């Protein structure tokens, strides 16, 4: 048999549209599965339900695009839990489909499809994104769409390519701030790739920059005017006084996160290649695309490392790397697919299918039970505690709940109640119409006095907290563990 025939046989596989169909069916299943599992809301879900009650230029430390999209889906789908699951899984499906289309521009359908499914080998994508993420899911989708458009339209000199790039960059910057890695890495990779740097036109860059600036101006202007909300999570960075040792500690944390993201993919693909090695597939390599994507990944990681070292950040989170590190799994898969035969590919498909089933089972345990001694937050008895609070303080005119998870959970379980958060408490309440209550989560206590001071400033009134009363109830799946809140009546005096 000739090499060409052998390669043709090895390339034979499902039709080109089987892979997008598999992706769509999987995430459609995840929508149905999440709704079937029911329960309450996770941290990000509750926050998103709270923020998406209305449209605004800004809501907090995250840009507003996800909240806008969730507001639209909630308007179309009356069931909040279903609306949350639909948006997340549409975005995840779009992410996988964009990666598939990007790889399909240089590879046969089965190679592109298997390399795309290699994303299941990244725990932060296969598990964390499904478990409880919102903005990080959106930034992944925007990163892949931007990369796809830049590669297939902008760099090819197609009409409107630079305008599309600017549009996607602007929307990406409204998904999450770490999206800034994407355009910087794409442009840097193009500059470093022979044959591509000449396609970067100054006029096109100005067009893209102008469109992106117009899109991000209102939300980022809101952030400048509301630094207390926009920078409320800045403490998570844990910056220390700069020194070489501090910079080194941050870089070590970055290295651990890189290893955590790609170790499983490297291990599984390496084992399959070792056990099922076959002659290399010379016609399955598209060096220009792989080289470009590798440069994008390396530049993105390099920029992250530079920022960590320069600022003295010691608390590094793996999700910061997602806009570029996701490329690692498909690139590793492409390397492996060059050297494994049909048997190796079948093993890879089975491994990925097994991981997909494992994610579904683990999600059920996570939502319905949690860990021994640490019940699932989605099973917290929020509705029971709300009923107990109302029995003591009936017919409140306003309920201020903190943190955002508690406020969003109250909206989910009791949509009839006038719930708001300290960040967006609404107009001053009419104290004569009923009591004003402050509900706080005892495990994550906020200063009642601080919240009262903020409400006083926003309502231009004097807000005086009364005596706090603790309430608690057991978690249904683990009754030995209790969940508690504190109820504090607020006296609001208008000038």
Q: Are residues 434 and 330 in the same domain?
A: no
Sorted by sequence, the CB contacts under 8 Å of residue 230 that are 6+ apart come out as 58, 60, 61, 222, 223, 224
User: How high is the pLDDT of residue 4?
Assistant: 39
Q: Are residues 393 and 342 in the same domain?
A: no
Q: Are residues 338 and 438 in the same domain?
A: no
Cβ of 29: how many Cβ atoms within 10 Å?
A: 13
User: Dmax of the chain from CA atoms?
Assistant: 92
Place of tokens 């309920």: 399
Q: What is the pTM of this model?
A: 0.91
- Which of 357, 355, 288, 326 shows the shortest CA–CA distance to 115? 326
Alpha carbon separation from 291 to 101, 154, 186, 233, 297 (Å, rounded):
17, 18, 12, 36, 10
Q: Are residues 343 and 420 in the same domain?
A: no
Alpha carbon separation from 83 to 86, 205, 258, 483 (Å, rounded):
5, 37, 33, 27
Sorted by sequence, the CB contacts under 8 Å of residue 30 that are 6+ apart come out as 85, 89, 92, 130, 360
Q: Which of 341, 368, 395 is the last residue of a domain?
A: 368
User: How high is the pLDDT of residue 11?
Assistant: 47
Gap between the Cα atoms of 294 and 365, Å rounded: 37
Q: How many domains does one find in the chain? A: 2
Q: Are residues 364 and 410 in the same domain?
A: no
User: How high is the pLDDT of residue 315?
Assistant: 76
Q: What is the mean pLDDT of each run of 10 residues along the chain (495 residues)?
A: 40 73 97 95 95 93 96 95 97 98 93 94 94 94 98 93 98 96 97 90 95 97 89 61 75 86 86 63 62 95 89 79 93 88 87 95 93 88 95 93 95 95 90 86 76 92 92 91 93 85
Q: Are residues 218 and 129 in the same domain?
A: yes
Q: Are residues 359 and 381 in the same domain?
A: no
Burial of residue 303 (CB within 10 Å: 0-12, 13-18, 19+) is middle
Q: Which of 337, 368, 399 is the last residue of a domain?
A: 368
User: How high is the pLDDT of residue 194?
Assistant: 84
Q: Are residues 219 and 114 in the same domain?
A: yes
Q: Which of 368, 402, 436 is the last residue of a domain?
A: 368
Q: Are residues 214 and 244 in the same domain?
A: yes
Gap between the Cα atoms of 337 and 332, Å rounded: 9
Q: Which domain holds residue 419?
A: 377-493
Q: Are residues 392 and 283 in the same domain?
A: no
Q: Are residues 343 and 425 in the same domain?
A: no
Q: Are residues 132 and 260 in the same domain?
A: yes
| Residues composing the chain | 495
């Amino acid at each position: 048999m000739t090499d060409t025939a052998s390669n043709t046989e090895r390339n034979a596989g499902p039709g080109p549209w089987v892979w997008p169909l598999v992706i769509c069916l999987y995430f459609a299943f995840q929508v149905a599965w999440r709704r079937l599992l029911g329960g309450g809301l996770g941290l990000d879900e509750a926050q998103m339900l709270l923020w998406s009650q209305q449209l605004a230029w800004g809501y907090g430390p995250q840009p507003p695009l996800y909240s806008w999209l969730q507001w639209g889906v909630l308007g179309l789908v009356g069931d909040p839990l279903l609306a949350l699951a639909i948006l997340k899984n549409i975005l995840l499906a779009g992410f996988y489909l964009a990666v598939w289309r990007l790889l399909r521009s240089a590879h046969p359908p089965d190679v592109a499809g298997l390399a795309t499914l290699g994303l299941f080998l990244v725990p932060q994508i296969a598990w964390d994104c499904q478990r409880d993420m919102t903005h990080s899911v959106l930034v992944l989708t925007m990163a892949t769409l931007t990369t796809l458009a830049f590669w297939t339209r902008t760099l090819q000199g197609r009409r409107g390519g630079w305008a599309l790039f600017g549009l996607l960059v602007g929307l990406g910057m409204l998904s999450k701030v770490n999206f800034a890695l994407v355009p910087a890495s794409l442009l840097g990779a193009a500059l470093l790739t022979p044959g591509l740097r000449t396609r970067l036109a100054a006029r096109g860059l100005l067009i893209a920059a102008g469109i992106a600036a117009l899109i991000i101006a209102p939300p980022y202007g809101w952030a400048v005017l509301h630094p207390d909300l926009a920078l409320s999570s800045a403490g998570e960075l844990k910056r220390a006084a700069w020194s070489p040792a501090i910079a080194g500690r941050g870089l070590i944390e970055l290295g651990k996160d890189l290893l955590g993201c790609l170790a499983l993919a490297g291990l599984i693909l390496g084992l399959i290649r070792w056990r099922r090695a076959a002659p290399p597939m010379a016609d399955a390599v598209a060096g220009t695309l792989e080289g470009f994507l590798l440069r994008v990944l390396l530049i993105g990681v390099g920029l992250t490392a530079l920022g960590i070292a320069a600022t003295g950040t010691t608390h590094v989170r793996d999700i910061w790397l997602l806009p570029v590190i996701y490329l690692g799994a498909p690139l590793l898969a492409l390397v492996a697919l060059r050297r494994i035969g049909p048997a190796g590919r079948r093993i890879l498909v089975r491994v990925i299918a097994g991981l997909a089933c494992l994610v579904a089972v683990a999600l059920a345990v996570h939502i319905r039970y949690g860990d021994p001694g640490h019940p699932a937050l989605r099973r917290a008895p929020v509705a029971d505690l709300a009923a107990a609070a109302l029995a003591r303080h009936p017919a409140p005119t306003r309920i201020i709940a903190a943190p955002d998870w508690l406020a969003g959970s109250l909206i989910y379980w009791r949509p009839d109640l006038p719930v708001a958060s300290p960040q967006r408490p609404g107009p001053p309440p009419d104290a004569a119409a009923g009591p004003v209550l402050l509900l706080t989560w005892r495990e994550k206590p906020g200063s009642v006095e601080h919240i009262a001071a903020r409400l006083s400033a926003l309502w231009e009134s004097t807000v005086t907290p009364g005596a706090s009363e603790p309430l608690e109830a057991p978690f249904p799946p683990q009754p030995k563990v209790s969940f508690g809140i504190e109820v504090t009546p607020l006296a609001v005096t208008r000038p």
